[in-house]
Structure 1
Amino acid sequence: MKTSSISLRVADFLKGYPPFNFMEEEDLLRLAGSGRVKFHESEEIVFEEGLERESWFYVIQKGTVNLFKKNGKREELTDVRVEGNLLGMLWDLDTDVYLSTARTTSDTILYRLPLDPLIELAEKIPKVKAFLKSYYSKTPGSEEANEGINEAPSDWLKYIGPAKERAARNLLTCSANDPIKSVARAVAPGCQEAVVVVDSQRRPIGVITESDLSGKVATGDIAIDAPASALMSSPVVTIKPGLTAGELLLKMLHFRVHHLCVTADGTDQTPIIGILTERNLSLLHGRLPTILTNEIQVAKTTEELAKARERTDELVFYYLETEAPIPWIASFVAEIDGAITERALDLAQEKLSRRGQNGPGTPFCWLAFHSEGRRERLLRSPQRSGIIFTDPDQGTGEATAAYYRDLACEVRDILKVCGFLLEPNERRADNPRWCRPLSTWKGYYTAWIKDPIENEILRQTPFFDLRIIAGEKSLGDELIEHIQSELGKHPNFIPLLANDAMENLPPVTIFRDSVMDKSGMLWSSIDTKAHALYPMVDLARVMALQFGLSDTTSTIERFQKLKELVPEEAKLFGEAAEAFQFALLIQTRFGLSRGDEGQFIRPGELNLIQKEQIKTLFRTVARLLEFAAERFGLVPISEEK
């Protein structure tokens, strides 16, 4: 192949990624023409920490490269780079040596390009310089370069326009019977990164990506003349038009995908109208936290998972400081923690297998309870989990239970290294009581709902905030349906639960540097849990159970739905949603800054505005409790002695 042809191929690939997409074609061709193509097998070192830096940098065309830094005698994974990412250069750092070691994790193709021309172009093109400065910054998200959008997360997470336009502009389709070689031409470098496979009515049935072609066709696993259906990934993840950048990002995090198909109604039963990719969002808004899920999915050790969770805390702090929406931050953390738990389950199963313990083949489901079940665990609070497994055949019950308890113990230890402490009441899956077959779990909820006082319902309320994390989803769904059925049989349960929710009364005000309760007693600290979060959580849970909102566990989402279900109190529930967001925000900020759960805050640590906001929060909580007292015929707060 002629050198000029190679340069065109390289330039076509580069222009699909920042900062090269900001360059004129002439500049890009000149840069590509000075480069070389390099092939590395898996586990090869591209460059090594401490060695003299060379006069070129790299762009990954295919494969994955891990970056490591030395920590004593061992290496620590610091980043994972994939197609389109840069390697081997720094920005605004005065050093002549590599600061990390780059090692391939699979067969990898790199474009080696000269550094000096890139620096010259950066000085000439502001967007190129801004991107490079951001890309190599140690502060996440600073000075991101994009297509004219330079908002903080509080702005771009709510943005719709450019992503919506890209969805239609980037759409390429094929039929299931089209030969793969025609699809390959469509996704050639610089043309498109994915093709949507559609049926006769243009409904999406699969997606074929560049990595599918390189990983399955180029290797000979699938013939170039085979139909597209032999290569496509299916089913597809579909979305409705008009989602914000933040919503798109959460979808990608939740489903662990890099492509979203846009259809008229958001399902795969209507025609495709566009496709959005992680690359689209990256080009519009700079580097995204999806790198964390990539890192988690390839983690081979507990330490690598722990490192990813540390980076999550850094991002949470950044998003808080840049005023990103609290519901979005909470959902982001829930997706990351869910991915960590899934990977912990994989690592635990691999470890048991090496010990000769193979799974019983019985489907199981991992559940999260309490704040994680509500998608409200912004800080690394104690573990609260459970395992449901299908009722085993006669005679195999104890062996099945023993395997899943061992699995839960391994996951417990992995999560502990990741910073999730052990819950003192042992409401965890490694406790035999909470690692049981579906029939036993159903029995628990039946007893709690039928005889709440005898079964100390106050201790069991966290189990009514449950979320399916991993495994066989149908098991969790069946348990949730059972709970709703039992609630219908015992109408006295919800009023009793409402009465118990009145236990945590809010203070009245902040008096100088103390918190004053209704009796005039002064307390030295605000208890963010007892004074704010718990009463709102409890009341939102009671109302959600009453209205059968089994698909909604988040306190904020519960209040937002209650605005529609109880329109005469829409203002109260709207204010409650805002108050809860503020309480979660203040707790998380103090918790991250101090390295604890942020439960106790002294009034002297708050500024004047925060003190006023806290007072408003107390008043909102009190009004919520007054509402509950009236609705369920309880003693109003104002009449309590």
Structure 2
Amino acid sequence: MDAFDQAGKTAVLQNIHGTMQFLQRFPPFNQMENAHLAYLVEQCQLRFYASGESIIKPVDGPVEHFYIVKQGRVVGERNHAATGTETTFEITGGECFPLAALLGERATRTEHLAAEDTFCLQLNKAAFIRLFALSEVFRDFALRGVSSLLDQVNQQVQRRAVETLGNQYSLNTRLGELAMRHPVTCAPDTPVREAVRLMHEQQVGSIVIVDEQRAPVGIFTLRDLRQVVADASADFAAPIAAHMTAAPFYLSPQASAFDAAIAMTERHIAHVCLVQDQRLCGVVSERDLFSLQRVDLVHLARTIRHAARVENLVSLRGEIGQLVERMLAHGASSTQITHIITLLNDHTVCRVIELAIQDKGDPGVPFSWLCFGSEGRREQTLHTDQDNGILFEARDAAQAAEIRARLLPLAQHINQGLAQCGFTLCKGNIMAGNPELCLSRAEWARRFAAFIREATPENLLASSIYFDLRVVWGDEQACEQLRQGILDQVADNRLFQRMMAANALRQRPPVGRFREFVLTRSGNDKAATLDLKVQGLTPFVDGARLLALANGVHANNTLERLRQLVGKEVIDPLDGGAYEEAYHFIQQTRMQQHQLQTRQNLPYSNRVDPDSLNDLDRRILRESLRQAQRLQSSLALRYQL
């Protein structure tokens, strides 16, 4: 060890306690055992780098040291043939580098430079390997990076939920833990009378019909029994197979309570069979979920679907808000919550349409109710406006005009009914009651062809949400045929893709060159803030939409698009995982903001002051926004923008 290294070592050893206190402010060091953290500090040297000085670069060969920024800032730069030198990241106090190269025993692909006068704690490779073996927390962070930090955030949320509600509540409880008793079963040839007697003796609401290998072939519930009783000619000596619901839906015992609740809501069922190795091993009922969660999602969905009047739906919207409030408090993820909001919104839309048909009369022609934007992507929050249209079949323009004239009064009535239920009328008139959005399949195809053929930066801003279309009510086949035509046209039109890419770069994530948040003031706000939706989520939404359309991905949901793009090798798996986690965290932060605003009787806002977040949340938000920057950089490189 030369004199310079010895001086750096001495500087650390003289203030072990102070250095440990510094590191304990930052993850993962704040989760490490004291002995492991002390080992890290004792093995470190303090190194100084002047502004602009290179700390480590690719030509240095395999990495021999691990660095933690003690004071100052470090930037990573790469050379690209198309774009020249590109700053790929900026890191500051408490953050570390270059983990991937050190673990891979290779040279770094990025030059790390001091952006200002900077002090780093430097750990040699042998000590890094020893610490990697000693500390599970450090090893997890080294292998998983920001993913392990997100685990800490989720653990904090779950801890708060347990403190408030006790251990019994969890959306993630395994179904195998809920189905404690053996399922009541019978053979297909069992008489109905005998099956009902078994249900009564065991005090259960269902009996599963199994074959000789105990595979479920049917289920008979109290609902089925009511139908048998209502049929005056029913024979109670008949085999249960004549009255059972065949091929019952089932899940694995490892599936979660959330999975079962969603399945019941989507399929309008009250029981889910549990099957392991093709054998029945349990049954979970709606009542089991309700007693666990105290949130009767299935009952709420059923009440919505059977509401007798729009006024009933209006009152039920308040219950949806309460449900979301409780789920947030219980530690549900943003993905779970948006899934549930979308399901309940879909049920509401379907019921409004059905009530409108009862009120105005059947138009006499089949049609499909389309939705666009966040509703089309299944990414709605509670505060949402209408983006919808109608699709129907017509043999020619004359018939299309005739059908449109019959459907428009109904569509406008539906739009007003949805507005009563809290779906705000669209200021841009993107609604089915607009004649321009009540179209035959051929007319929709021409409209999308015009979007693609005549694209300009201005009209792309308005038309992009149409590319997230899906059917909420009605036949889905025509929409799927329309979507396939859209995908074929976009795949063949590189110019349109390039214009979509430019549009996707319009909203820049609010992180500056040196890792600071770039904040602005909105309206009368006193504090400078950033917009979680427009500046945080939109870059992921727009980027995923473009890549999905360009690569034949049918999915609408942003996270599902990212997963399928990884599957098609359009996006690197590590990048895809990082984008997904970043999107999830920004959405979660946005929903928590909405929850806080609801409690304080404030209007919904997507703007947040980063200083209002704790250190961990602020760091992960910054990292999440940097992932949005990386996605935009990859689009700029792909389309040479």
TM-score category, normalised to shorter length: 0.5 to 0.7
C-alpha deviation, 1:469, in angstroms: 1.3
Query: Using the alignment, how far apart are the partners of 2:175 and 2:395 within structure 1?
Result: 49
Does the 8 Å contact 2:517/2:622 carry over to 1? no
Q: Residue 171 of structure 1 contacts residue 273 of structure 1 at CA under 8 Å; is this kept in 2?
A: no
Unaligned runs of 5+ in 1: 1-139, 635-641
Distance 1:441 1:222, change over 3 A: farther
How far is 1:191 from its partner? 4.5
- Supply the distance in 1 between the matched residues of 2:173 and 2:577 (Cα, whole angstroms): 19
- Does 2:585 align with 1:579? no
Match for residue 268 of structure 2? 256
Residue 386 of structure 1, CA deviation: 1.5
* CA displacement at 1:307 relative to structure 2: 2.0
Q: Are 2:193 and 1:181 equivalent residues in the alignment?
A: yes
CA contact (8 A) 1:515 1:523 kept: no
Contact 1:187 1:210 in 2 (8 A): no
Any conservation in 2 of the 1:515–1:603 contact (CA below 8 Å)? no
Q: Which moved more, 1:305-314 or 1:568-577?
A: 568-577
Q: Which residue in 1 is equivalent to 2:550?
A: 546
After TM superposition, the structure 1 = structure 2 runs for residues 129-528 of structure 1, keeping only pairs within 5 Å, are 150-153=167-170, 156-163=171-178, 169-170=182-183, 172-175=185-188, 179-188=191-200, 190-196=202-208, 206-217=218-229, 220=232, 222-228=234-240, 230-233=242-245, 236-239=248-251, 242-262=254-274, 275-353=283-361, 358-360=362-364, 362-391=365-394, 396-453=399-456, 456-509=459-512, 515=519, 524-528=528-532
Shift of 1:344: 0.8
Q: Could you tell me whether the CA contact under 8 Å between 2:179 and 2:283 is conserved in 1?
A: no
Deviation at 1:563, TM superposition (A): 4.1
d(CA) in 1 for partners of 2:388, 2:380? 13
- Give the partner amino acid of 1:446: A
SS of the counterpart of 1:456? Answer: helix
Higher relative contact order (CA 8 A, sep 6+): 2
The residue type equivalent to 1:503 in the other structure is: R
Partners of 1:620 and 1:422 in 2: CA distance = 34
Query: Aligned residues, how many?
Result: 472
> Given the two structures, how large is their TM-score scaled by the length of structure 1?
0.66
Counterpart amino acid of residue 408 in structure 1: A
**Is the aligned partner of 1:556 residue 2:564?**
no
In the alignment, is residue 529 of structure 1 matched against residue 544 of structure 2?
Answer: no
CA positional deviation for 1:312: 1.3
| Larger Rg, first or second structure (1 or 2) | 2
Q: Partner letter of residue 387 of structure 2?
A: R
Paired amino acid for 2:462: R
**Contact persistence 2:271–2:284 (CA under 8 A):** yes
Gap change, CA 1:477 and 1:229, over 3 Å in 2: farther
Give the structure-2-normalised TM-score: 0.66
Query: What's the secondary structure of 2:519's corresponding residue?
Result: strand
Indicate the RMSD between aligned Cα atoms, in angstroms: 3.5
Determine if contact 2:274/2:284 at 8 Å carries over to the other structure: yes
Supply the distance in 2 between the matched residues of 1:327 and 1:161 (Cα, whole angstroms): 23
Counterparts of 2:217 and 2:436 in 1: how far apart (Å)? 43
**Alignment match, 2:79:** none
> 1:588·1:597 contact (CA, 8 Å) conserved in 2?
no
> For residue 436 of structure 1, what is the amino acid of its counterpart?
L
Deviation at 1:619, TM superposition (A): 1.6
SS of alignment partner, residue 234 of structure 2: coil
CA distance in 1 between partners of 2:399 and 2:233 (Å) = 40
SS in 2 for 1:515: coil
